[in-house]
Structure 1
Amino acid sequence: MFIGRPFIYAAAIGGIPGVRKAIDLLNAEILRNMGLLGINKIEEVTSDLLIDAPP
């Protein structure tokens, strides 16, 4: 997963508060997607819930 770049941008533009905001956004996205999948814990993610990204 390529999540490092947004945190570098957040640090460059907003410093520590920017990185915290980026973390909050990522956390909200993960929780929303888990809700859409009908799961409550990350341990419930199984291979049948995942798809390969297009090349």
Structure 2
Amino acid sequence: MGLRSAGFIVSLPLISKLLKKHGYVKRKAQKKQTIGTNKNRNAQFENIAMLDTQ
């Protein structure tokens, strides 16, 4: 059952205030760190290319 159908008046500013009041904040997207390099990286791509042509 939705809030409006239950007789409550809701709006975006009201929801934002309530979320902020209770400690909820909008999270920023986090960038993933690279895992590093692999000494066989080129060989991996060559193997993929070879499998793709078969």
| TM-score > 0.5 by shorter chain | no
Between structures 1 and 2, the one with greater helix share: 1
TM-score by length of 1: 0.27
Bigger radius of gyration, 1 or 2?
2
Q: Which has the higher contact order (CA 8 A, sep 6+)?
A: 1
TM-score by length of 2: 0.27
